[in-house]
Amino acid sequence: MSTIIHLALRSILNRRVTSLLTILAIALSMSLLLIVERLRTGAREGFTGVISQTDVIAGARSSPIQLLLNSVFQIGSASNNVTPETWEHFRRHPAVAWTIPVAMGDSHKGFRVIATNEDLFLHYHYQRDRRLEFESGKPSADDHDVVIGARVAKELGYTEGTKLVLAHGLAVESFVKHEDHPFVISGILKPTGTPFDRSLFISLPAMAQMHAGAAEHHDEHADNADEPDHHRHLPGLSAFFIGTKSRTDALALQREIQTYAGEPMTGALPGLTLAQLWSALSYAEEALRAVSMLVILVGLLSMIIALYNSLNERRREMAILRALGARPWMITAILLVEAGFLTGVAVATSIALTYGALLGATGLITANFGISLPITGLSGEEWARLGLMFLTGLAMAALPAWQAYRNALVDGLTIRI
């Protein structure tokens, strides 16, 4: 057996360029399938981990998926705003334990601004039980303080104490800036792998002042400076997150939000809405998987073509082996070992390519969408797929191996004069 392996390896080395190209073709095709599967499952886990322990998301009338994408993943814009009175109504609901109000619509150099209150740092959870933590500084102490995410600080080079001006709208370059209401960075958040890394956080009264004008706002509240924050003038809300006292109350509360008489509203259950989102994307997932399988087929066919093309070139080599006492089955075994070696190296190469691509893609996806793809070891299902591909390569190589077996018999029985 060692002789067969030695001869197979020598044959591969003699055709090193063709062998390398064959390995690369198979590895790229296998890697494509692994990457598609990893992106699919990793994106699901990453999206699901962005928001945890939130039972209901309430916002203006729209589809639950649109509400989820806008309020949590900062994709798109809210169809309308919810009045502060509606938020106050549900904040005091007997089934509600806490709420997190969110108002959006402004930005800073392409990064979204989120107006909220201290409940964000108390009740928002991601990756099951993790909370927002500060790398430096502290939450906003007044209406001129702003807290920034880790990605904002890194890309813009901001530090605690930096002064900045926010802009109206979500464009990277805006001509409408709130220069009459500057902000000072009071804190920088630790990286979370969520869209909040690319966000700036101000208080709700600060957003109201910014749009109404500081002087007008001051006159309106000069006589009521001692009132609690939730009685002060607030902006319209893009959405608010709700944590219920009991998980069993979430469905009834969602139904109540959907039928609320005060204004048209939508209530989204995060887990159920994410499942609907992935169901809507299932056709794209299956299409990508089908393309990946076709690419793998092309890669394996390239190996068969390379083996077939080498048969006539190696016919003299095989005749010499037969003359030296090699049996026909040994010729077949040499080709199968070659195919097994090429496929095995391609499998190992595909794993390396997959992790390299995932490391690069994770940075790009996190930078653009705020979603962190977990990098973990190969699952049992992935190992099973790789094993199946390896066996498929051997099975497909049996065709040129059988041809080599027949050639060996013919060459062994032919009398040449």
Q: Is the overall model pTM greater than 0.75, yes or no?
A: no
pLDDT digits (tens, 9 = 90+) for 167-179: 987 666 665 788 8
Provide the percentage of residues in the chain whose pLDDT is more than 90: 36
Looking at residue 293, its pLDDT comes to: 77
Nearest to 236 by CA among 96, 86, 54: 86
Q: How far apart are CA 322 and CA 318, in angstroms?
A: 6
pLDDT digits (tens, 9 = 90+) for 106-149: 999 889 999 999 999 999 999 888 999 999 999 888 889 999 99
pLDDT digits (tens, 9 = 90+) for 349-405: 999 998 888 888 777 776 666 566 667 788 888 888 888 888 887 787 777 767 766
Structure tokens at 241: 């997150």
Average pLDDT score over the chain: 81
pLDDT above 60 (res 408): no
Nearest to 393 by CA among 29, 14, 20: 29
Scanning 92-177, the segments in alpha helix (DSSP H) are 119-123, 150-156
Nearest to 104 by CA among 228, 211, 193, 197: 211
Beta bridge partners of 243: 98
- 215 confidence band (pLDDT: 50, 70, 90): very low
